[in-house]
Amino acid sequence: MIVRRRWTAAATTVILFSAVLSHPASGAAAPADPAAPISLSATETALVRVQLRDQAQLDRLVATGADLANRPRARDGRILADLVLSGTQLDELTAQGATAVQIVQRAGDGNRHYADSVRAAQARTAAGLRAPAAGQRSTAAATAVDTLQVQQAYWWTTTGQTFLQAQVATTATDDPDVEITVSWRTADGATGSFPLYRFEDSGEYQYHYALPQPVPSRPVQLTATSSLGGVSRAVTPTLWPNASPPPLPAGYQKDFIDAYLTPVDIQARIKRLARQHRDLVDVIDLPNKTQGYRRNAVGYLGDPAVAALVVESVRFGDQNMNGVQVRTVDPGRANRPLTVGYRDRVLTVSLATDTAGKTVSTTDEVAAAINARQPDRFRAIVEDGSAGLPMPVAGPTRLDDGLQGTEVPARPWTVQALRLGVHRDGSRVGVLAYSQEHAREWATPLVTLEFAERMLANARTDPATRELLEQVDIFVIPTVNPDGANYSFNDFNFQRKNLVNHCTGAARDPKNRTSWGVDINRNYTVGSYFDGYVGASANCLSGNYAGTAELSEAESGNVIALAQDHPNIKFAMNVHSYGGYFMWPPGAYRADGRVTLPRPSIDESTLFLNSARRIVGAIAQERGTVTWPSQTGPVADVLYSAAGNSADQLYYELGIFAWDFEVGNDRWNPATNQWEGVGFQPPFDEAHGESQEYAGGLVEMVRVARDYAAEAAAD
């Protein structure tokens, strides 16, 4: 089956099977036991790694707005995709021929992992794609010979196991049945081979590839052959990333992360760092306050299974609207008109009656009356399936915003950035690290805060760190999207977007509450949905909803405002999770012909790649984690098209070398010989490991910036 992904920029209805598919979340879980099929209860939700039946099934998922956690992968001729599914959805997908192979995280796991991490911290304190079937041959003429080019051949060793990854392109781009096999030889004479799988994107052939393959030792030769007779020249695989940071000095301080951190926790830590390091820290209040952890109060008036309205407060629930009552009453007299009144926090709708005294108002009439007579307080919509039905006598029902986080301040939120350095005046090259654009990515602020803590703590004891803070001006936004993050921690841990609800009409039904919001990383101005690029949606319930306009959201505006206000910023890293990627622009393309945003110049492309090697090498120093070469490169090439992402705006409009991390690399399981996902909210031990290794990567980015500035000054 061909791994074709046809991402469309057109608005789509984001209803898959019987419900909306969005918001992947995660955690580490054991691989599925083949003897015990994976299943969920009907109402349970989980992030599931699914083997899809065929390409058509993947195409349907994409077309309906499924929120894919990372690029669907080919493994042994099968397409694997990470999706958030309810039990009902998983059953329907299974009935259509898919197979669940791993539950990465169940819905409650994130909250359990957060609680576990907090308890552990307290204890610590107290203690001190496509492959043809075997034997299948191309339908092209047997005498045809294609030309093969090895695009990638890299090897590395981690935790005692050596891996080899290859990527090969054929000139027979239009033949979907071309088989390509890689053969390898090690220095001690061992040999082996493995198949590659065809990868297409937006209907365009890209190359053949495979996930990293275990080999017994360092490979010294690689050759590719095709079923059409093509043979590549022999190449010597290159060590990846073949770069290492300087060794840490004795006494170097690290490991400042004890638990998952909510936005409230992060706010407190920013305040503490500013107090402890007054000579090295400024706190910047970013200009656009977010909505805050707030929603409109809402409730059903009537029985949704029979006839009902959705009644919603115009103001947020915390603005004295939680607990307001709504009711319909029978006036008890004949020939009475439909009336609406509000008194003592009770909205009363008196239904119209006929000559016999029977109530005759319809749901549509009652909704229209509420909207016309109380427009400053309430809005009403007719529940799906209730249009034109008699409105029953119902209520009183209490409106409520549905938010569970009692410890979260219910007010607009001021997003804060840390500014670190000896010279915080714009005279030094600037570096920006920002995280948690996506609310569910709990591990990402752990990375940026560990980085900030390391720089500050070591400034007084390590001359190399002090030198970096003399030469570089560092900016850190630990949580770009605090409202969504608060919602993820307290209400729905799969939440990806912010809390602003731009939906209208039936989409505002509270049954959709976990699908409201704007994807902050689709709300920027370059290569956006509004410009016709792929990878975002106009559907307000989609996981990658782009918003009402470019930079419509306070959160995206804050990132750009910080960069614009500090033109010395020349490097930026957007920290996401999960999957283990290292990426840079272009991040988006148009569907017709897969036309990307303009490619960086040769010199800038070289800087991106060489810097990536250094940073990937620094990440690997912590626990041997290696970001795969196939997942290192431009976003549009190694992940997917992400219309309106922040890195593209920073690079194309502001001239900043902008990268993206996807922390949380797949882990190799030698018992199963499989790569396994870890997800957005793994058990804290894994999240802690991610914070340590990727913080090291951010320190190396600071060194990259320092070296760049020194070279520029020397020219």
Active site residues: 662
C-alpha count within 13 angstroms, C-beta hemisphere, residue 620: 21
Tokens of 366: 């009652």
Whether the CB-CB separation of 94 and 19 falls below 8 Å is answered with no
Residues 6+ apart with CB under 8 A from 344: none
The span from the CA of 111 to the CA of 190, in Å, is 48
> Rounded to whole angstroms, how far apart are CA atoms 478 and 481?
9
The region that residue 673 occupies, defined by phi over 0 for left and psi between -120 and 50 for alpha, beta otherwise, is left
Which three-class secondary structure state does DSSP give residue 187?
A: coil
Single-letter code of the amino acid located at 117 = S
Picking from 273, 414, 396, the residue whose alpha carbon sits closest to that of residue 346 is: 396
Residues 6+ apart with CB under 8 A from 85: 21, 40, 45, 46, 48, 50, 93
Distance, in Å, from the CA atom of 569 to the CA atom of 691, rounded to the nearest integer, reads: 23
CA angle 561, 566, 568 (to 5 degrees): 140
The H-or-E segment that residue 695 falls in is helix 684-714
CB 449 within 8 A of CB 256: yes
Distance CA 687, CA 444 (A): 9
Do the Cβ atoms of 587 and 634 come closer than 8 Å?
A: yes
Q: How far apart are CA 336 and CA 358, in angstroms?
A: 10
The Cα 27–Cα 664 span in angstroms is 10
| 478 DSSP 8-state letter | S
Tokens 């969920």: give the residue: 40
CB 553, CB 500: distance < 8 Å: yes
Give one DSSP letter per residue of 142-163, joined into a string.
TT----EEEEEEEEEEETTEEE
CA-wise closest residue to 70 among 530, 526, 685, 678: 678
Q: How does 232-259 read in b/e, with b if 16+ C-beta sit within 10 Å? A: beeeebeebbebebeebeeeeebebbbb
**Chain centroid offset of residue 601 CA:** 28
Q: Which of 525, 437, 428 is nearest to 475 (CA)?
A: 428
Element (H, E) at 264: helix 263-276
Residues 24, 680: Cα–Cα separation, whole Å: 8
Contact 44, 106 (CB under 8 A): yes
